[in-house]
A and B are shown apart, each in its own frame.
Chain A
Amino acid sequence: MTYLSFDTVTKRYGKTEVVQPFDLDVAEGELVAFLGPSGCGKTTLMRMVGGLEAPSSGCIMLRGEALTRPDRRRGMVFQSYSAFPWLTVAGNVAYGMRYRSDLSAAEKRDQVAHFLDLVGLTAFADEWPNRISGGMRQRVAIARTLAAGSDILLMDEPFGALDAQRREFLQLELRRIQIDEGKTVIFVTHDVEEAAFLADRVIVFTRRPARILAEVDVTARIGASRTLEMREGSGFFALRNELLHHVRSTASQEEDAV
């Protein structure tokens, strides 16, 4: 049985069609990047997986069960800063585990320390979110979602606000967590390089209403393991150019429309 499947999912807001009938199967443990122009409807698709919005027609199934409401199996990292200002950095990370009964208090403390270390915020554990930078606040939200221990991670341009170095580090870490812990990830981005480097498969979207323009199997091309050295290799380069080409064609659609 397919793990996660979109079955002719559509979405419209009033008369505006946001997503055209959309079909996609995602395997367990796969990282799929949604690549497309801003406002194309890729975020809407991801929010529907999270149960935060309902499809206008069709359905999204997890192991054959239709997804309707949000729960802990599908964790979400939002594009905007969603760290809670009334909790410290460590408190925010711990909040990700508040509704988990499978961990003891001591295990939760260990997990907080672990994820703080992972996102490089150990030194800021007792700081308030309003007193740290935007990029750091985003890392708090990422750690909180990871702490929740979801099977599926839904990430909406999570690294957009980070500096290049931190961004590269977290890309590698996300890839490691995905493979080591068998997480399934849907990663929304408009950064071609990021999509090519992170994903097992890249879905390139058209402009709104969202439709699949191209599908590129990255792992078949460059393998499942990713290293920084690969970024400079010719295989990666060709892949990146191919994706760039697809993305450019969505831009020319726009020119045609004008």
Chain B
Amino acid sequence: MPGQKAIIGTASTLALLLVWELVSRSGMVQDKFLPAPSTVLYTLGSMIYGRDLLYHAGISTLRVWSAFLMAAAMAVPIGILVGSFRPVGAALEPIVDFIRYLPVPALVPLSIIWFGVGEGTKIFLLWLGTFFQLVLLVADDVRRVPVEYHEAAMTVGAPGWRRLTDVSLPAMLPTLVDNMRITLGWCWTYLIIAEIVAANSGLGFVIWQARRFFQTPEVMAGVVTIGIIGLATDQLARALHRRWFGYLTR
């Protein structure tokens, strides 16, 4: 069955690309607005040499991962505490909830005042966009661990703090990994904003530069590159999920 799914997925994607190619070639829309996929693909190839595309993609990926790992390393323990201990939740949740609703772009000026236009601002914005969301997601994951698991642990003599590591953590791990995969995707959104506003490297910078010279194929090639990186990361994360949490499948 997974084979069948892959075939359908590939076929529908190819069909879409074919329609796009035909529309562009027929001259119904100007090349300047919608270049054909073959043009985008060709541009992408030439950008690898001419525009250091791989370097910019690498920089962007590095930024996303360093901010994401920082956010996750902080959010997972804090989220577990928020979800496990009511007073901690009561103390932190209003603050977290408030900041979570602030749109990241609104904080760009403040971030530039605080951190200038260097790497600090980019990492901060990405961290801001993911840390608070992740805290709440993790807290919810902890709360969803069936109470029977905890009660069973208590009646075989598990001390309270051991239940965090021996019950809460393994029970929530599959959803935690899923939530991290989704949050990592959001990081890319914030990254592009950060790189458009304040950067001289990265995919956001490349796209924005190309736009200034009306190089639509380059703009699209930049966007496609992000898509490819996202797709690859997501598939990898799903594969790891299946591998690590195979015990969940019946």
Which of A71-79, A105-113, A168-176 binds B? A71-79
| Interface residues as binary, A80-98 with B (CB distance below 8 Å gives 1, 0 otherwise) | 1010111100000001111
Instruction: Verify B151–A95 contact, CB threshold 8 A.
Output: no
Nearest to A129 among chain B residues (CB) is B247
| Interface residues as binary, B161-194 with A (CB distance below 8 Å gives 1, 0 otherwise) | 0100011001101000000000000000000000
Instruction: Verify A70–B247 contact, CB threshold 8 A.
Output: no
| Interface residues as binary, B119-161 with A (CB distance below 8 Å gives 1, 0 otherwise) | 0000000000000000000000000001011011011111100
> Contact residue range for chain B?
20 to 34
Instruction: Verify A82–B151 contact, CB threshold 8 A.
Output: yes
Instruction: Verify B248–A130 contact, CB threshold 8 A.
Output: yes
Which of A141-149, A204-212, A237-245 binds B? A141-149
* A37 CB, nearest partner CB in chain B, Å: 23
Main secondary structure of the interface of B (DSSP, over half): helix
* A136 CB, nearest partner CB in chain B, Å: 13
**Which residues of chain A in 144-162 are interfacial with respect to chain B, using CB atoms and an 8 Å cutoff?**
144-145, 148, 150, 154
Q: For A100, give its contact among B148, B155, B157 (CB under 8 Å).
A: B157
Total A-B residue pairs with C-beta atoms closer than 8 Å? 77
Instruction: Verify A95–B156 contact, CB threshold 8 A.
Output: yes
**Is B243 engaged at the interface, CB distance under 8 Å to the other chain?**
no
Give bound CA distance, A67 to B170, whole Å: 30
Scoring B152, B154, B159, B170 by chain A CB atoms within 10 A of each residue's CB, the highest score goes to: B152
| Interface residues as binary, B228-250 with A (CB distance below 8 Å gives 1, 0 otherwise) | 00000000000000000011111
Scoring B155, B167, B246, B247 by chain A CB atoms within 10 A of each residue's CB, the highest score goes to: B155
**Is A3 engaged at the interface, CB distance under 8 Å to the other chain?**
no
A84-B171, A130-B248, A130-B250 as given contacts; A96 in contact with B148, CB under 8 Å: no
Instruction: Verify B173–A96 contact, CB threshold 8 A.
Output: no
When distances are taken between beta carbons in the complex, the residues of chain A under 8 Å from B249 are 130-131
Instruction: Verify B155–A70 contact, CB threshold 8 A.
Output: yes
When distances are taken between beta carbons in the complex, the residues of chain B under 8 Å from A74 are 155
* A145 CB, nearest partner CB in chain B, Å: 7
Give bound CA distance, A148 to B152, whole Å: 11
When distances are taken between beta carbons in the complex, the residues of chain A under 8 Å from B166 are 95, 98
Q: For A71, give its contact among B148, B157, B170, B248 (CB under 8 Å).
A: B157
Nearest to B148 among chain A residues (CB) is A82
Number of interface residues of A (CB under 8 A): 32
Instruction: Verify B155–A130 contact, CB threshold 8 A.
Output: no
* A56 CB, nearest partner CB in chain B, Å: 20
Q: For A80, give its contact among B148, B155, B159, B173 (CB under 8 Å).
A: B148
* B238 CB, nearest partner CB in chain A, Å: 19
Nearest to B167 among chain A residues (CB) is A84
**Is A230 engaged at the interface, CB distance under 8 Å to the other chain?**
no
A130-B248, A131-B250 as given contacts; A52 in contact with B151, CB under 8 Å: yes
**Is A99 engaged at the interface, CB distance under 8 Å to the other chain?**
yes
Q: For A99, give its contact among B156, B167, B247, B250 (CB under 8 Å).
A: B156
**Is A128 engaged at the interface, CB distance under 8 Å to the other chain?**
yes
Give bound CA distance, A148 to B151, whole Å: 14
When distances are taken between beta carbons in the complex, the residues of chain A under 8 Å from B162 are 99
Nearest to B152 among chain A residues (CB) is A82
A70-B151, A76-B151 as given contacts; A145 in contact with B248, CB under 8 Å: no
Give bound CA distance, A84 to B166, whole Å: 10
Q: For A130, give its contact among B152, B156, B247 (CB under 8 Å).
A: B247
**Is A55 engaged at the interface, CB distance under 8 Å to the other chain?**
no
* B20 CB, nearest partner CB in chain A, Å: 43
* A45 CB, nearest partner CB in chain B, Å: 16
* A26 CB, nearest partner CB in chain B, Å: 17
Give bound CA distance, A99 to B248, whole Å: 26
Nearest to A100 among chain B residues (CB) is B157
When distances are taken between beta carbons in the complex, the residues of chain B under 8 Å from A36 are none
When distances are taken between beta carbons in the complex, the residues of chain B under 8 Å from A41 are none
Give bound CA distance, A144 to B155, whole Å: 11
A76-B151, A78-B148, A84-B170 as given contacts; A98 in contact with B156, CB under 8 Å: yes
Instruction: Verify A148–B154 contact, CB threshold 8 A.
Output: no
Report A's interface with B, CB cutoff 8 A.
50-52, 70-72, 74-76, 78, 80, 82, 84-87, 95-100, 128-131, 141, 144-145, 148, 150, 154
23 A-B residue pairings within 8 Å (CB atoms)? A50-B151, A52-B155, A72-B155, A72-B156, A75-B155, A75-B156, A76-B151, A82-B146, A84-B149, A84-B170, A86-B170, A86-B173, A87-B170, A97-B156, A98-B166, A99-B162, A100-B157, A128-B247, A130-B248, A131-B249, A141-B152, A145-B155, A150-B155
